[in-house]
């Protein structure tokens, strides 16, 4: 087992007070965070979001993607429900890392789409690994999820891990002129279920 629970603390946010749980992946020295709100115990499925780190979108307000808007929308939705969890995984750039993501952005500036850019750098279109979730879910005693995602691969990855995803909740937000091509590529090449509508 490479995932090790470290500690928990309170995290006050504009949407309410979350609990923040720190995990360490000893295999690659990455640190992951889970935000939770409310009582997660019991058999009732937990409203959830699996969010891969996006420094540019989450912290630097980039309009090249929809990541920051998706993270904020998930926190808001969980706060409204009073119960839920966000797995914040350190898998920047769909797993290629921040500096490689900047290289990919440079290729996109020259006309490549997000998949072509990753592949030109020698990476797969999506390098993320969701197996690290198993120990986090076990630690939090979560058995079933209502997952906020547009990505059917994420649902399949969880099902393959034996995680019961009882419902996929469409999670479209943050569309703008700067990320229109990016979103169309996610839909056309990565199979994301995007309708072009927002909540």
Task: Mark whether 128 is an active-site residue.
Answer: yes
State how far the Cα of 131 lies from the Cα of 160, in Å rounded to an integer.
Answer: 9
What does the pLDDT read at residue 85? 97
CB-based burial of residue 60 (10 Å sphere; 0-12 exposed, 13-18 middle, 19+ buried)? exposed
185 domain-assigned: no
Structural domains of the chain, count: 1
143: containing domain: 3-91+128-176
Provide the pairing of β-strand 164-169 with 144-148. parallel
What does the pLDDT read at residue 147? 94
State how far the Cα of 56 lies from the Cα of 71, in Å rounded to an integer.
Answer: 13
What does the pLDDT read at residue 199? 44
122 domain-assigned: no
54 domain-assigned: yes
Are the C-beta atoms of 49 and 147 separated by less than 8 Å? yes
CATH code assigned at 144: 3.40.50.10990
183 domain-assigned: no
Is residue 57 part of an annotated ligand binding site? no
154 domain-assigned: yes
Region of 174 please: left (phi>0), alpha (psi -120 to 50) or beta.
left
Is residue 53 part of an annotated ligand binding site? yes
113 domain-assigned: no
Query: Over its length of 199 residues, how does the chain's per-residue pLDDT go in tens digits?
Result: 689 999 999 999 999 999 999 999 998 889 999 999 999 988 899 999 999 999 999 999 998 888 899 999 999 999 999 999 999 999 887 778 899 889 988 998 998 887 888 888 888 777 788 888 999 999 999 989 999 998 888 888 888 888 899 998 887 775 677 666 555 665 554 555 546 554 4
Is residue 167 part of an annotated ligand binding site? no
13 domain-assigned: yes
Are the C-beta atoms of 52 and 92 separated by less than 8 Å? yes
Catalytic residue among 66, 109, 128, 160: 128
Is residue 175 part of an annotated ligand binding site? no
Task: Mark whether 126 is an active-site residue.
Answer: yes
Is residue 82 part of an annotated ligand binding site? no
Positive or negative CA dihedral for 65, 71, 76, 78?
Answer: positive
Catalytic residue among 126, 129, 160, 168: 126
State how far the Cα of 161 lies from the Cα of 183, in Å rounded to an integer.
Answer: 27
State how far the Cα of 98 lies from the Cα of 112, in Å rounded to an integer.
Answer: 18
Is residue 67 part of an annotated ligand binding site? yes
State how far the Cα of 59 lies from the Cα of 71, in Å rounded to an integer.
Answer: 11
Look at residues 54, 32, 59 and name the one whose alpha carbon lies nearest to residue 130: 32
């Amino acid at each position: 087992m490479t995932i090790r629970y470290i500690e928990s603390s309170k995290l006050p946010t504009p949407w309410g007070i979350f609990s923040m749980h720190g995990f360490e992946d000893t295999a690659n020295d990455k640190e992951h965070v889970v935000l939770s709100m409310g009582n997660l115990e019991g058999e009732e499925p937990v409203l959830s979001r699996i969010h891969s780190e996006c420094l540019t979108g989450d912290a630097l307000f980039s309009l090249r993607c929809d990541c920051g808007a998706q993270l904020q929308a998930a926190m808001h939705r969980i706060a409204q429900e009073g119960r839920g969890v966000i797995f914040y995984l350190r898998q920047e750039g769909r797993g290629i890392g921040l500096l490689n993501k900047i290289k990919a952005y440079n290729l996109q500036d020259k006309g490549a789409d997000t998949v072509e850019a990753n592949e030109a750098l020698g990476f797969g279109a999506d390098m993320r690994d969701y197996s690290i979730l198993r120990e986090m879910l076990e630690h939090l005693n979560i058995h079933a999820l209502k997952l906020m995602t547009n990505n059917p691969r994420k649902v399949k990855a969880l099902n393959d891990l034996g995680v019961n995803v009882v419902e996929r909740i469409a999670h479209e937000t943050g569309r703008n002129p700067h990320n229109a091509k990016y979103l169309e590529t996610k839909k056309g090449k990565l199979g994301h279920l995007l309708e072009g509508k927002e909540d």
